[in-house]
Structure 1
């Protein structure tokens, strides 16, 4: 059976895919929501300007640590009890954290509510990748992940929309804190809607008597990690690291670089620099990502997935290393570079997911993709924490150069292992 040009797996109906895509859109919207909303909340809660960067970094590190520690476990649970319940838990817990976050009266409460969001995010992010791997047949895996990448790009527009809501509520007579609470309440409501969609719309868990599902959870975790002995799985983990790191570096530092350049070199106010410099260039990157998601989705179904990873990592390496040549981020030619950057980063994202979906054994798919998510979380942590240090110490282009080098490493690794990547159950190169 086909839907939206994708050949569906046995037992999957178009309604199941539609429900997944709606849930994925909401899940993607959560990805950058705190980065947009949290600065205004911290100011409203009375935290000193000098302390806000430290608090933001600490809260972000807490979230990534939780992702690293729990994504593998949620993947194992998804293999044991089903994707639907783990995904519903993830969306529901994320919603709960958003409802609670603006009511924090101490830093300890902020940490506690961020832990709730992090737990929800670990389950939610893992299931976004796992479910699309379940729902698409092998011949359509690239297009399916390209469609999911396109949805993720559309989801990136949700945080800016949420970001303007506090001002809307204040204009209607709300106090600053009430405006924050109402905005975070909208964010929480998204998760409630997503939870209902997942519980009602996703395919039920297929019961299995396979011995893997009867194993203790600790054994499932260990064997899920050991799956990295497969060259294709190992390559997908490396691709997850760089693809998530690419997105994190672009999201964290391109706008910051432009705002700083505008205020320090062009005499702009921060808000003016954000509106006139950062926003148009961010939209250029997003447009490139939309195009890249479609292109790589098609390409990944027409060539070997390991080769698709090599091409994506090679393109990303060239683009991110090229940022090291940028002295003036407002130069007209940088628009073209940013458009290609959008193509490159989403291509790495899509090709890595297509490869892990292909290589992960069906009985351990949740666990393997859970560790795939762990690799991505480590990439985000390196990109944000390491990139932040490089940005301040050596200049704004250095986080991009770092990931240009790391993409190059993955590209070279893919070149050497792609003849060792075999599709499970076949003798075909993957």
Structure 2
């Protein structure tokens, strides 16, 4: 099949499909099913982000962990979560092909709810790790099911638009849900509850929300397994194909960009609220008020990224992918480096830094995704994309381990300077490939002359 034939096939609209704006669903997908997907998208990332947002309060008030030990613990919890998540991604995807998406999507939110119920009951560090593993199992189901359902429902010609729509709901959910939850500890404290029960009620409200989401999607998502399945390559063979593809310098750069861009997200989710909560405590704020202030800035980061997303997407679609990645790394590097200049992390200057970080975070992720999307070959594309995702997971693990050590032993802004340096290094790598291409083009022209 030629490229033109493929494009023509993508434009064919199967009759009987539900239309929602620019989106056309596959026959059999109802408005109720579509609502279920958007509902799950809205709450999906928000319910997963809350674990790190609430964690400083749990460690400080409920487990009485010294402030100078919390960075390492937060990093190690993220490492354990990521290891469990990586080990479950493949089996969950395969199981969903056999029994359908709905049972596993419902399971995701049930497990998240269970984890949030147990987390504030942890009396030891060991139990905290065990409950985090339950959370990781729920997160793994959530991470796999969102793109799976988002690809199942639309017709071929609007799959990218469907994914973009779901990502918008992801972002809106983070901003709105966390904006509401950030004030709950202060409200519970004002009602006279002691710090331990404040923390328990805070996380139990999130547990109840997760179970409510599970019920809604159980009633709205389309049942059954997908009709068309593709034969899966053996894992080792896929891994080898992905590694060999890195002989292409631009693909190797895309792999590194996955590590750095995912590391950017990890440093914010793991250490940003932890840093600001501890700073608030040092400035004399009650822990509940410090957590509220920290979450205010975290929500602002996510809010700043939303309006910037279409601007960054428009820019990246109109310039060479290498140029786009270089620009993205500069924006992200400047954003994280700006934290070094703050005299008071809880002052007004943080709003500017948070906006820069949100813009840089969004640009870096879009640039990394668009680069691998362009460079991944048609043959072995799945293997290359799989390796790209694997490199992203390595980035999360690296930032969690290194960042945790830097946070406790060097400086609380150490993790952010680490990822700032990684972004700048990737900028220079991009520039190197750009200059090498110029040199190759110049040599080709002189040779032809």
Give 1:339's aligned residue.
355
Give 2:312's aligned residue.
296
The answer to which of 75-84 and 399-408 deviates more is: 75-84
Gapped regions of structure 1 (runs ≥ 5): 421-430
> In the aligned structure 2, how far is the partner of 1:113 from the partner of 1:280?
26
Give 1:207's aligned residue.
227
Can you list the C-alpha shifts for 1:53-98, whole angstroms capped at 9, x where unaligned? 2654443332222223333443444455544444333222222222
Q: Are 2:75 and 2:270, in contact at CA under 8 Å, matched by a contact in 1?
A: no
TM norm structure 1: 0.73
TM norm structure 2: 0.71
Q: Are 2:119 and 2:128, in contact at CA under 8 Å, matched by a contact in 1?
A: yes
Give 1:165's aligned residue.
184
CA-CA distance at 1:123 after TM superposition:
2.2
Give 1:24's aligned residue.
41
Look up the SS of the partner of 1:207 in the other structure. coil
Task: Give the number of the structure whose alpha-carbon radius of gyration is greater.
Answer: 2
Q: Are 1:36 and 1:160, in contact at CA under 8 Å, matched by a contact in 2?
A: no
Can you list the C-alpha shifts for 1:231-254, whole angstroms capped at 9, x where unaligned? 687665443322222123234444
Give 1:68's aligned residue.
86
Give 1:425's aligned residue.
none
> In the aligned structure 1, how far is the partner of 2:47 from the partner of 2:83?
18
Match of 1:89 among 85, 103, 107: 107
CA-CA distance at 1:117 after TM superposition:
0.8
Look up the SS of the partner of 2:168 in the other structure. helix
Q: Are 1:316 and 1:344, in contact at CA under 8 Å, matched by a contact in 2?
A: yes
CA-CA distance at 1:207 after TM superposition:
2.4
> In the aligned structure 2, how far is the partner of 1:226 from the partner of 1:245?
24
CA-CA distance at 1:307 after TM superposition:
6.3
Structure 1 269/185 Cα, relative in aligned 2: closer, same or farther at 3 Å?
Answer: closer
> In the aligned structure 2, how far is the partner of 1:9 from the partner of 1:224?
33
Structure 1 175/88 Cα, relative in aligned 2: closer, same or farther at 3 Å?
Answer: same
Structure 1 397/183 Cα, relative in aligned 2: closer, same or farther at 3 Å?
Answer: closer
Match of 1:127 among 107, 128, 145: 145
Look up the SS of the partner of 1:100 in the other structure. helix
Q: CA RMSD in A?
A: 4.5
Look up the SS of the partner of 1:319 in the other structure. helix
Gapped regions of structure 2 (runs ≥ 5): 1-16, 438-449
CA-CA distance at 1:8 after TM superposition:
4.5
Q: Are 1:62 and 1:115, in contact at CA under 8 Å, matched by a contact in 2?
A: yes
Match of 2:212 among 189, 193, 204: 193
CA-CA distance at 1:295 after TM superposition:
2.6
Can you list the C-alpha shifts for 1:208-249, whole angstroms capped at 9, x where unaligned? 354x15x6xxx2565267346556876654433222221232
Matched pairs, number: 411
Match of 2:133 among 102, 115, 133: 115
Match of 1:40 among 57, 81, 104: 57
Q: Are 2:85 and 2:136, in contact at CA under 8 Å, matched by a contact in 1?
A: yes
Structure 1 409/136 Cα, relative in aligned 2: closer, same or farther at 3 Å?
Answer: farther
1:223 aligns to 2:241 (yes or no)? no
CA-CA distance at 1:388 after TM superposition:
3.2
